Amino acid sequence: MKADGDLSNYVPDFLVKTTDGTVWIVETKGREELELPRKMSRLRQWCEDAIRGSRAEGGSAYRFVYVDQAGFEAHRPQDFAGLVQMYRDYQS
C-alpha cells in the first residue's frame, strides 16, 4: 500500500536462491525514497510470514537485502555472501 492509501503491486528487483535453499529478495535503489523505510518494514514482515508458511511445509527460508547505489559503487562486494554482509540496512 502506498503512503496515500492506494494499493500497489510489488515486483522484486532480483531473487537469489543460495545453495542452502534460502531465497533472497534483493532490492536495489538509485536514490532514497520517502517510503523506503515503510517498504522495507513491510518486506521484512512478508519474509517472516513466508518463512512461517514455508517451514510448515519443509520449504525455503526467505530473507531480503537492500542495496543502495552509492554504497555499491563505493564498496563492491566480491560475491553474494559479501553483499549480504555489507548491506545490513533495514535488517533489524
pLDDT above 90 for 32: no
Domain boundaries, given as residue ranges, for the chain? 14-86
Q: How do residues 56-85 score in pLDDT, each as one tens digit? A: 566 788 999 999 998 899 999 999 999 999
Distance in angstroms (rounded) separating the CA atoms of residues 64 and 49: 13
Q: What is the pLDDT, as a whole number, of residue 1?
A: 53
Q: What is the pLDDT, as a whole number, of residue 55?
A: 61
Instruction: Report the DSSP beta bridge partners of residue 28.
Output: 67
Q: Give the sheet arrangement for strand 62-68, strand by strand.
A: 14-17, 23-29, 62-68
**Closest among 63, 68, 64 to 28, alpha carbons compared:** 68
